[in-house]
Structure 1
Amino acid sequence: MKRGIDTNQMKTGALPARAPMTTGLVLDSIDYDERATMRAWENFLSDAPQCARDPVQVRSLIHDSWYRSATGGINAQGVEAPLNSNRDEIEYLTRANAELLSAARRPFASLGPLLEGTGAMLVLADSDGVLIEAIGDKKTLHDGMDIHLAIGGKWNEGAVGTNGIGTALWTGEPIFVHAAEHFCAGIKGWTCAGAPIRDPLDGKIIGVVDLSGYSPIFRPHNTALVAATARQIEKALAEQQQEQRTRLLEAFISSSPGYRGKDGLVIVDHRGRAIFCNNVPNGDTTEMTDGPIEPGRGRWLMNLPASGSDSDLAKALPAHLRSCHVTPLKLDGNLSGAALVFPAAPVVSGVAVINRAADKQLQAVTSMIVGESEKLLAAIDVACRVARSSGVTSLLIEGETGVGKELFARLVHAGSRRTDNDPFIALNCGAITRELFGSELFGHVAGAFTGASRDGKAGVFEQANGGVLSLDEIGELPLEIQPFLLRVLEERVVHRIGDSRGRPVDARLVASTNRDLKQEVAAGRFRSDLYYRIGAVSIRVPALRERGEDALLLVEHFNRHIADKAGSEPLRFSSLALDALQAYRWPGNVRELKNLMERLHILARDSTIDLRDLPWEITVGNRDGATMHNDNPAAMLEVPVCTFEDAERQAIRNALAAENGNLSKVAQRLGISRPTLYRKLDQYGIRRGFL
């Protein structure tokens, strides 16, 4: 039978007979009034919002935890924690926390016999508050089963409200929760003191050690006891990690006779975290910046494959680490880490690195392009070649909206930089009215036209002198302006509007477009001579649906980035959710995926994302685009398409229907500017009120 508290007991503040309490009890200099705490709890449950503004008379730590418990949907009448008794899952938990269990073995073995007959039990929980070890007084261990204070029981605040384990996990500090301070009625007869255990390598909380028993065992120094035990476990973990670090270094030395002392070296452990850095900038600090040559100790770098083969290990490297040499490191026949060697004289695309500062910038930008697919890596390779070439003065980047074309433009800029002051100027041609194109591109002198600046103005070509000019949506450039752009590219001289004097410019042009410029040329909307001038070297950035498992890498990347920025833990994804994300066609590409991750971090109901948390178009929409769910107004308008113009026309119709004719929202949904949308509506003869 469960030992809970019935309604009458809660009303009177009485507790079960086997857990007697004394009203107005003073516990070793800490004032605690059982009846007052019970009244505060009852008042809190009757009006939690008011109590949030006017805190009840309990410790602030307890009040804050009660509020989290209430707003998190915890049942205050609960009598037990959730329990997972599945043997396979318990075995998995044991394997996953093998290092933590090993480090706790000695302190638990020394304390276990001392707890017999004391009415206390000592438990170890993982980072999710799930119990993985329990020792102590046999009777208390037996009684703990009634509230699932046993191996497999889940004791984080999100599962059972205020308690020593869950609240220690939340606060990150040693704490105690005594009797009526618990949120759930069924555990108010217990007292507990918990202390978090942190990984010595990266400082993350990986578990909790907790002393629990019926309320008479309470002493303030119980908290000091568990804190000391947690420090012992952390010390044992540090010793284990130091031993592993030494063994991995020995394994690397024996397997890599060609390593040169001046090469950069990073050793990662079995979890893909850097545990040794040599000749790597900032390698001995935890304040790190992204990039293949700046990992710091404790930083997560990669996931090691289960197979341990050289080929699988090479594939597991993130794209920004592909320039290094990777070697698997095995201990006792098992893959236990890897060595990443960065040659002192790196070679990129067959061109030796000469400008070290530019190379560092190039690597930093490359690290921002997340993915491992062959198409993406091929595009990165071309961009790096162009960046390092002095003979290529212009580049055309083609790709759908949202694929990250601007990152490639910045990649070219990073590799082309000669000084830290080389500018990068970006201009979106789709956001400029026809009348202002000439002034924005080439500049004007004072009084050149009505509304001209009194002092004149330099155009973007002059502003980009010595650096890179990025013209996005160049397909929107009016026909009458295109000859002037071609002339500037040919002569490297710009004439401001209203000025006969030419001004020399030395700027590399990177043009990008989401349109098929060949078709635009054939339709007479884009000059062929300009197309061949800017498109001598071109890059096609692949759509996300063409990049295989890159979608999952981007999910992980944005998940960690958003979590780090918010100071929270990354979300977890069920296998079904990951399958759905992998299968989705991503019409909005990387931008759509990033927006989805930001939305999930804001709206997710808990830390694990399942199918129910994903938008309907990902979970039930047909990913081939042939049919869509009938409750989507845009879907009912879709028809089979044959040409690019048909597809574009239909996309605009769908967006208008979905946004009820709101042009600002339509432009945002399509990823284009309002002026571009107006031109498209005029081009296809579409009116908002008649679809």
Structure 2
Amino acid sequence: MVPVAADYDERITMRAWETLLSGETGDARFPVRSLIHDSWSRCATGGINAQQSEAPLNSGKDEIEYLTRANNDLLAAARRSFATIGRLLDGTGAMLVLANGEGMLIDAIGDKKTMHDGMDIHLAIGGKWTEDVVGTNGIGTALWTGEPVFVHAAEHFCAGIKSWTCAGSPIRDPYDGTIIGVVDLSGHPNIFRPHNTALVAAAAREIEKALADHQNAERTRLLEAFIASAPHYRRSDGLMIVDRRGRPIYCSNLPDAPDSPFHDQLLQGRGWRLQFPEADTFAALASALPQGMQACNISPLDLDGDLRGAALVFPSGRTSKRTYPSRPPHLGEAAAQIVGESEALLAAVDVACRVAQSKDVTSVLIEGETGVGKELFARLVHAGSRRTPTDPFIALNCGAITKELFGSELFGHVSGAFTGASREGKPGVFELANGGVLSLDEIGEMPLEIQPFLLRVLEERLVQRIGDSRSRPVDVRLIASTNRDLKQEVAAGRFRRDLYYRIGTVCIHVPPLRDRGDDWILLLDHFNRRIADRIGGALLDFSDPALEALQAYQWPGNVRELRNLVERLHVLSRGSPVEVADLPEEIASPLKPDMPAKIAEATAMPILSFEDAERQAVLGALKAEGGNLSRVAQRLGISRPTLYRKLDQFGIRRGFV
């Protein structure tokens, strides 16, 4: 016996339908599910022919080609799910169909006999299955209610479809939540199972996830296309980038005052979009803009030779702020990962881009506090300097290597060079990075006795493995990074002066987050979207008090701390929006009066150097983690041995907190 819904009875349902058609019911409810009752009522009052046996069908070649072209994004997003499920449906008597937001079928896959039978009722590509033309059905009723539904056998409104069962689930646009399609499982009544609705709902969610991935990739590519051209664009200008559907996917420096022309359109919801002209030209786009938004420069954005969006630049009229050249387009993802528009950050990016394109600079020093994103700048230099896509990028954290293994890690060793050496020998990071970039992070942690050997390799461009008499040529660009003030390290005798001048040919200072103005809000949005996309969750919303607390915070852990906070909130926040109570104590509350006086005094001291900033970061992390050194090291992004050295360096006792 085929299981059906507990409140479904074939004879009672048919009798209710016949009573409805006879007009004898008055205002009484039919003995059917409320979903079916409401749908039947709409069909009856809408004049649907209850004896209809099929849906309208547009089967012409031109119509099908137009359907396919107009719904290309939805079809592409559904391709993987349909291929996976479709293979499993052969011989099951079921078919899976995809409809667009107008109820037009645009794809179908599944059991061949069932698909053939479906042609009898026009359950095929080109068929239109909205309630207003074919009555109660899984596709049309899902579009109407906006919820997953099933319609079984006699529950259909039209007589010719009562020999079918179907379950449909709406597909929503990740951009604004509007319904853009339906995925539906259909077949003869013997395929009905209560979990059919769950199956199509899961398929709809997979399609929505694929759509979100595509939209995020499209957004990144459009931003890169704009960065590559950026005609006469200044960072102080207002900027809106729209996709090919006229939806704003990026806005910057647009005024949000109530009397601003952008206020009603952009700030009242994400559903607003520009009305593009019919032809693929932007000559008429300016006139299509709302009043007050027409004083802009419009540039088309092409992807793979197709017009896919536009950049609208609203000149600010300000010229006092220094501007920097656009990031070269070939830097691609490496440039996109560095998020921010502050003067300090743009200056660092500008230096990195110029170094990347210079063949004369073989060594670069990147300075900045822990967590500011020094490795991103190292990768930016690598992206700009590589000659082929396969040029290596090798990173080594000097703070995570024991003193005994330093030489082996840098230069490699031959078989039997020392106790515990690999039997086959091992190349060092210089050989592994040959032809590319070697990034030495925390270079200030390198033992003093190893530094002359590093200097020799940099000078001679030759490396000799430990225990070997043969020298091997290497072509490597060295990018050293540090959170220490190496000038002070040189003065204290902990770092060789000649090595400092060799690696410091060009210095890139990456500013701390507290010196980057409003970049924190851009980073908050960046991490919010990236983490939501990765875990398949919704974007976090922040209350005004929570944003004020985040703005007032000094971010001793810098960008890494902000990223970790957003990840934590995605897991632990108690609802939407995020409130001050959801934030960590050190952000939500000011320093407590009973905090040890030495910490309060230390964390209130002005920052005079990198070492001061580093000391304050350590003290802040100790306070936040209650003295738990494992969590302090994790918070700062360093190893425990490195943390112990820093505690000794700054004279901080472990029982300080």
| TM-score, normalised via structure 1 length | 0.53
1:206-228 per-residue CA deviation (whole Å, 9 max, x = no partner) reads 3799xxxxxxxxxxxxxxxxxxx
Alpha-carbon deviation of 1:435? 1.1
CA change 1:493–1:303 in 2 (3 A) is same
Does the 8 A contact of 1:403 with 1:541 survive in 2? Answer: yes
Give ranges in structure 1 of 5+ residues lacking alignment.
1-22, 32-58, 62-110, 117-166, 178-192, 210-261, 277-296, 314-325, 354-358, 622-627
Q: How does 1:484-523 map to 2 (within 5 A)?
A: 484-523=453-492
* Partner residue, 1:586: 555
* Partner residue, 1:674: 640
Whether 2:445 is the aligned partner of 1:476: answer yes
Find 2:592's aligned residue among 622, 629, 636. 629
CA change 1:680–1:580 in 2 (3 A) is closer
Whether 2:520 is the aligned partner of 1:551: answer yes
CA RMSD of aligned residues (A): 4.6
* Partner residue, 1:386: 355
> The residue matched to 1:302 in structure 2 has which SS?
strand
Whether 2:501 is the aligned partner of 1:535: answer no
Q: How does 1:320-469 map to 2 (within 5 A)?
A: 329=286, 331=288, 332-335=290-293, 339-341=298-300, 359-360=329-330, 362-469=331-438
What code does the residue aligned with 1:671 have? G
CA change 1:413–1:204 in 2 (3 A) is same
**Distance in 1, Cα, partners of 2:613 & 2:638:** 15
**Distance in 1, Cα, partners of 2:301 & 2:536:** 31
Alpha-carbon deviation of 1:688? 3.3
Does the 8 A contact of 1:472 with 1:511 survive in 2? Answer: yes
CA change 1:380–1:652 in 2 (3 A) is closer
CA change 1:30–1:425 in 2 (3 A) is farther
1:556-581 per-residue CA deviation (whole Å, 9 max, x = no partner) reads 11111111122222111222222222
Alpha-carbon deviation of 1:682? 3.8
Whether 2:263 is the aligned partner of 1:305: answer no
Does the 8 A contact of 2:240 with 2:248 survive in 1? Answer: no
Does the 8 A contact of 1:465 with 1:506 survive in 2? Answer: yes
Does the 8 A contact of 2:393 with 2:433 survive in 1? Answer: yes
Alignment identity in percent?
62
> The residue matched to 2:244 in structure 1 has which SS?
strand
CA change 1:403–1:329 in 2 (3 A) is farther
> The residue matched to 2:508 in structure 1 has which SS?
strand
Alpha-carbon deviation of 1:616? 2.5
- Which of structures 1 and 2 has the larger relative contact order (alpha carbons within 8 angstroms, sep 6+)? 2
* Partner residue, 2:585: 616
CA change 1:580–1:330 in 2 (3 A) is farther
Alpha-carbon deviation of 1:659? 4.5
What code does the residue aligned with 2:493 have? G
1:397-442 per-residue CA deviation (whole Å, 9 max, x = no partner) reads 1111111110110011111111122100000000011111111111
**Distance in 2, Cα, partners of 1:443 & 1:196:** 59
What code does the residue aligned with 1:675 have? P
> The residue matched to 1:300 in structure 2 has which SS?
strand
What code does the residue aligned with 1:333 have? Q
CA change 1:634–1:544 in 2 (3 A) is farther
Whether 2:177 is the aligned partner of 1:205: answer yes
Does the 8 A contact of 2:543 with 2:579 survive in 1? Answer: yes
CA change 1:426–1:661 in 2 (3 A) is same
* Partner residue, 1:138: none
Alpha-carbon deviation of 1:194? 12
Does the 8 A contact of 2:440 with 2:480 survive in 1? Answer: yes
Does the 8 A contact of 1:194 with 1:208 survive in 2? Answer: no
Give ranges in structure 2 of 5+ residues lacking alignment.
1-5, 15-32, 36-41, 48-140, 152-166, 182-227, 232-238, 267-281, 304-322
What code does the residue aligned with 1:305 have? L
**Distance in 2, Cα, partners of 1:540 & 1:264:** 25
Does the 8 A contact of 1:425 with 1:470 survive in 2? Answer: yes
CA change 1:679–1:334 in 2 (3 A) is same
Alpha-carbon deviation of 1:381? 1.2
* Partner residue, 1:154: none
Alpha-carbon deviation of 1:685? 5.3
CA change 1:338–1:175 in 2 (3 A) is farther
CA change 1:497–1:29 in 2 (3 A) is farther
> The residue matched to 2:434 in structure 1 has which SS?
coil
Does the 8 A contact of 2:324 with 2:346 survive in 1? Answer: no
**Distance in 2, Cα, partners of 1:168 & 1:599:** 36
> The residue matched to 1:205 in structure 2 has which SS?
coil
**Distance in 2, Cα, partners of 1:561 & 1:651:** 26
**Distance in 2, Cα, partners of 1:308 & 1:681:** 55
Alpha-carbon deviation of 1:522? 1.5
**Distance in 2, Cα, partners of 1:614 & 1:667:** 20
1:645-669 per-residue CA deviation (whole Å, 9 max, x = no partner) reads 5665565466556556543223223
CA change 1:541–1:28 in 2 (3 A) is farther
**Distance in 2, Cα, partners of 1:377 & 1:515:** 22
Query: How many aligned positions are there?
Result: 422
Whether 2:509 is the aligned partner of 1:561: answer no
